């Protein structure tokens, strides 16, 4: 059966801890990027260093009211037993969230783009997601796709945001032309293929979009 959503509440619970089988442990904190502008109410998630500006990343089929929404990430600080406590922190983005309304999420559904059908996922833990080839993920409105003409390779405001932060996990709110912006962040362990989920409240209204980067182990895999 298809992949099911994990308990994202614990991802965004500051101070939540987990432990890997290796003995390495993690502590989660929430980092707020700012407000992402969705002029069309549509949401695109992709590796911006690969797909931004090319029109290659399709938006999700679920839409929300146009507006500005809080973007944030769950950042894990990882600790290895016996490591130098005075060394630089090992930080990884566990998940990225675009908050549509501050209400409890009751149900989750896999975010899909046009032509993707979850009922066709027959293998265990199969999912739709976006590919990462530059260690970075993002959220933005597709209307902003052409608003970052200077973002090519290691040039432009997107690259500058990560470079000025020492290439840490972010998140970074980057502004382009015509007032458009995007939020970008490190993609967990780096390159891979990552799912996004749509949360809904008890009345079926969208509460958030969350991309999971598979940093937090599932409860059955977490010895903590």
Domain map of the chain by residue range? Answer: 34-67+99-214
Please measure the distance between the N-terminal and C-terminal CA atoms of the chain and give it in whole angstroms: 27
79 burial level (CB within 10 Å; 0-12, 13-18, 19+): middle
Asked if residue 97 lies in contact with residue 208, where contact means CB atoms within 8 angstroms, the answer is yes
What's the CA gap between 139 and 144, in Å, rounded?
Answer: 10
What's the CA gap between 63 and 43, in Å, rounded?
Answer: 7
Question: For 41-83, how does the pLDDT look when each residue is reduced to its tens digit (9 = 90+)?
Answer: 999 999 999 999 888 899 999 999 999 999 999 999 998 887 7
46-72 core/surface letters (b: 16 or more CB in 10 A; e: else): bbbbbbbbeeebbbbebebeeeebbbb
Q: Which of 8, 62, 19, 70 is nearest to 40 (CA)?
A: 62
pTM (whole model) above 0.85: yes
156-167 average pLDDT score: 87
Question: For 173-219, how does the pLDDT look when each residue is reduced to its tens digit (9 = 90+)?
Answer: 999 999 999 999 999 999 999 999 999 999 999 999 999 999 999 86
Question: For 113-156, how does the pLDDT look when each residue is reduced to its tens digit (9 = 90+)?
Answer: 999 999 999 999 999 999 999 999 999 999 999 999 877 667 78
- Per-residue pLDDT, 153: 67
Which residues are 68's β-sheet partners?
A: 37
Give CA separation, 14 vs 9, 97, 141, 215, in Å: 10, 14, 28, 15
Tokens of 172: 């970074």
Tokens of 38: 């969705």
- Per-residue pLDDT, 151: 74
- Per-residue pLDDT, 89: 82
Are β-strands 130-132 and 192-194 bridged in parallel, bridged antiparallel, or unpaired? antiparallel
Helix (H) or strand (E) holding 204: none
Helix, strand, coil tally for the chain in percent (to 5): 10, 40, 50
């Amino acid at each position: 059966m298809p992949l099911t959503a994990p308990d994202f509440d614990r991802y965004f619970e500051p101070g939540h801890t987990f432990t890997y089988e290796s003995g390495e442990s993690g502590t989660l904190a929430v980092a707020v990027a700012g407000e992402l502008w969705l002029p069309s109410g549509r949401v695109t998630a992709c590796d911006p260093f690969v797909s931004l500006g090319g029109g290659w990343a399709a938006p999700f089929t679920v839409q929300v009211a146009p507006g500005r929404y809080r973007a944030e990430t769950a950042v894990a600080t990882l600790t290895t037993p016996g490591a130098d406590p005075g060394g630089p922190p090992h930080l990884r983005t566990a998940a990225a969230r675009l908050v549509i309304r501050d209400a409890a999420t009751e149900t989750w559904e896999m975010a899909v783009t046009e032509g993707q059908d979850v009922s066709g996922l027959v293998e265990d833990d199969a999912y739709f997601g976006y590919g990462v080839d530059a260690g970075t993920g993002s959220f933005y409105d597709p209307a902003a796709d052409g608003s970052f003409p200077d973002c090519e390779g290691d040039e432009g405001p997107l690259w500058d945001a990560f470079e000025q932060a020492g290439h840490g996990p972010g998140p970074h709110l980057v502004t382009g032309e015509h007032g458009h912006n995007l939020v970008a962040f490190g993609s967990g362990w780096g390159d891979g293929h990552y799912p996004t989920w749509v949360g809904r409240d008890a009345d079926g209204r969208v509460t958030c979009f969350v991309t999971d980067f598979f940093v937090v182990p599932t409860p059955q895999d977490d010895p903590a």
